[in-house]
């Protein structure tokens, strides 16, 4: 993977670049944020190849492999719960 060189731009840091545009506040207030469901710790035996796959993918994506497995299970149950 080649690294790109950053282009140095000579600008006055006190001045805006381009036309200013107001951005609407799109974030919900804290009272409307949904809290995650209660988690339950379990012990489960999985195939070594599955764990190795998730560990590799987690490392590539900068996350934890358990979080990825949990997300797969959550999406699976949401899909079939809705059906």
Domain, as residue range, for 55? 45-82
* 34, pLDDT greater than 80: no
Cβ atoms 60, 68 nearer than 8 A: no
Q: Which residue has the higher pLDDT, 73 or 2?
A: 73
Distance of CA 66 to the CA centre of its chain: 14
Per-residue model confidence (pLDDT) at position 60: 95
Q: Which structure tokens are listed for 72? A: 């797969």
* Residue 11: band (very low, low, confident or very high) from pLDDT cuts 50, 70, 90: low
Domain count within the chain:
1
**Is 14 a domain residue?**
no
CA distance 12 to 20: 16
Q: If we measure between CA atoms, which residue out of 21, 23, 77 comes closest to residue 69?
A: 77
**Is 26 a domain residue?**
no
* 3, pLDDT greater than 80: no
Per-residue model confidence (pLDDT) at position 25: 79
**Is 65 a domain residue?**
yes
**DSSP assignment, residue 33?**
P
Per-residue model confidence (pLDDT) at position 73: 93
**Is 56 a domain residue?**
yes
């Amino acid at each position: 993977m080649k690294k790109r060189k950053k282009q140095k731009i000579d600008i006055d840091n006190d001045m805006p670049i381009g036309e200013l545009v107001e951005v609407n506040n799109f974030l919900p207030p804290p009272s409307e944020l949904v809290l995650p469901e209660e988690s339950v710790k379990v012990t489960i035996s999985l195939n070594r190849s599955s764990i190795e796959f998730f560990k590799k993918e987690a490392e590539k994506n900068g996350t934890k492999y358990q979080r990825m497995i949990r997300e797969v299970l959550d999406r699976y149950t949401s899909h079939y719960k809705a059906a």
